[in-house]
Structure 1
Amino acid sequence: MPKVLVVGASRGLGLAVVTELQSRPSTTVIATVRGSIPLEGVDTITDVDISSDDSIAAAAQHPLVQDLDVIIINAAMGAPGRLLSTSTDTLAEYLSTNVVGPHRVVSAFIPALRKGKDKKIVFMSSRAGSLHSQIGNSFGLMGPYTVTKAGCNMLAVQYHNELEKEGFIVVPVHPGWVATDMGKLLGEGGIEPSVSAQGIVRVVEGLKREDSAKFFQFDGTSLPW
């Protein structure tokens, strides 16, 4: 019976992933939310802020998460904007949430994951973090977001390098252009969160050790770094 923790499940894609996981038999699902109200029908750790060391450390001490098979880290921030127009304070905020935040989470929950069987670490990333896809891109410029998603992808690679011998599988996953609050900043036309979530969960379920350090799209295809 895999035990899965979804970090950042208050709404949108994170909530859709939780809902999809709950439809899987013999899967224990735990969610974190930033607010104080737990999700209905889901074991929830409330008041979890990915940008706070103290908040993440406290969440990792919760009795529900002392052993884990899978962690899916979804919390992030993003908006259209040119890098040259981004203040240093804003870029630092992006880095704290999108790069340092996932590092906080992995560092805090690695003892629980070491006790699990599956040992899967999944970062909700973006094709925007692919260096290959960004060269020459002029559509929907999201400078600080792309920089930090590239950093998140490198987190996955470095964790793979450090944890591979322990049997860990570490991957970033691009959820597609999803019709969430963040996705709609680029306009209409995104897929429904439930569609993306179905694909993401299938990818996570099918991960094997040889898949570690690959960059996946929600439909199971690989993306270039």
Structure 2
Amino acid sequence: MGELRVRSVLVTGANRGIGLGLVQHFLAMPSPPKWVFAGCREPKGQRAQELQNLASKHPNLVVVPLEVSDPASIKAAAGTVEKLLGGSGLNLLINNAGAVTISSLENETLESMRQLYTINTIGPMLLGQAFLPMLKKAAQESPGTGMSCSRAAIVNMSSIAGSIVEMYAWDYGQVTSYRCSKAALNMLTKCQSLGYREHGILCVALHPGWVQTDMGSGRSRTPPLTVDTSVRGMLKVLSSLSEKDTDTFLDWEGKVVPW
């Protein structure tokens, strides 16, 4: 297994949970990225306080205003990142921002379905489009051949709840709009892998596990994984990926999740 070495990375939904954990781990690497871009909706808000505290201690961390459901916000964020990169590419785009609504099949609504598709599926598609020139640039300027997350990659944070084969924990939570949006994200990952393969960009969907976050916790059961355990596992997986792994759906331990 190789070591994950990136010059630049963008993490969406970076103000809490898994996104914040990813940022913390990138900053703590023996050879941290020159640029860690942390996207969040309200950089000056109370929910981003921990992220701002980190930015005050790490000059390589840049907090970028980013609402993944807003095309104008995505375009503005891409412009900010491109300017700071100064002509260099973006090695790694991690589409982590996501949402869930607790619902059953009977009370699912148009509004919920539309909202979750916009955030969980359309957002990652638009982000891939907006940052494609920078990802292509990173692939071109990286030494060697073949694909890797150290060269250029899009990582879509999916969920086993989007697996049509598994239908994980259906009796615990139907969350139909969430499941459908993540299944669609998995298809998007497949499409991106085919569309961006010629540019040397690896595309993969990751299931982080059931993690103790604001989004993952609730009801009467405590998720089994801490953010730290999940993030450590995922970064280990990302460091091992190569060309043969593009268009796959893997969990935080590197195990294949059935579509």
TM value normalised by structure 1: 0.94
Partner of 1:123: 156
- In the comparison of the two structures, how many residue pairs are matched? 225
Q: Quick check: 2:37–2:64 contact (8 Å CA) kept in 1?
A: no
Distance (Å, rounded) in 1 between the aligned partners of 2:249 and 2:176: 20
Partner of 2:67: 49
Deviates most, 50-59 or 31-40 = 31-40
**Structure 2 residue aligned with 1:208, among 221, 242, 255?**
242
Distance (Å, rounded) in 2 between the aligned partners of 1:64 and 1:175: 30
Distance (Å, rounded) in 2 between the aligned partners of 1:131 and 1:64: 41
Residues 121-168 of structure 1, C-alpha deviations (whole Å, 9 max, x = no match): 101110001111018932321111000000111110001111112221
Partner of 2:126: 104
Amino acid at match of 2:214: D
Q: Quick check: 1:129–1:149 contact (8 Å CA) kept in 2?
A: yes
Report SS of the residue matched to 1:4: strand
Distance (Å, rounded) in 1 between the aligned partners of 2:170 and 2:128: 31
Unmatched 5+ stretches in structure 1? none
Partner of 1:64: 84
Q: Quick check: 2:74–2:126 contact (8 Å CA) kept in 1?
A: yes
Determine whether 1:218 maps to 2:255: no
Partner of 2:146: none
Distance (Å, rounded) in 2 between the aligned partners of 1:46 and 1:7: 9
Amino acid at match of 1:72: I
Distance (Å, rounded) in 2 between the aligned partners of 1:144 and 1:10: 24
Residues 65-113 of structure 1, C-alpha deviations (whole Å, 9 max, x = no match): 5621111110000132123311112211111111111111111111110
Deviates most, 100-109 or 36-45 = 36-45
Q: Quick check: 2:159–2:182 contact (8 Å CA) kept in 1?
A: yes
Task: Work out the percentage of aligned pairs sharing the same amino acid.
Answer: 31
Distance (Å, rounded) in 2 between the aligned partners of 1:7 and 1:44: 12
Amino acid at match of 1:213: D
Report SS of the residue matched to 2:29: coil
Q: Quick check: 2:68–2:119 contact (8 Å CA) kept in 1?
A: yes
1:71-86 to 2 correspondence within 5 Å?
71-86=93-108
Partner of 2:187: 154
Partner of 1:144: 177
Amino acid at match of 1:51: S
Q: Quick check: 1:36–1:46 contact (8 Å CA) kept in 2?
A: yes
Distance (Å, rounded) in 1 between the aligned partners of 2:18 and 2:110: 28
Q: What is the Cα-based RMSD across aligned positions, in Å?
A: 1.7
Amino acid at match of 1:99: T
Residues 6-46 of structure 1, C-alpha deviations (whole Å, 9 max, x = no match): 11101111000111122223331221121133532352233
Moved over 4 A (4+): none
Determine whether 1:35 maps to 2:46: no
Unmatched 5+ stretches in structure 2? 45-50, 140-150
Q: Quick check: 1:180–1:193 contact (8 Å CA) kept in 2?
A: yes
TM value normalised by structure 2: 0.82
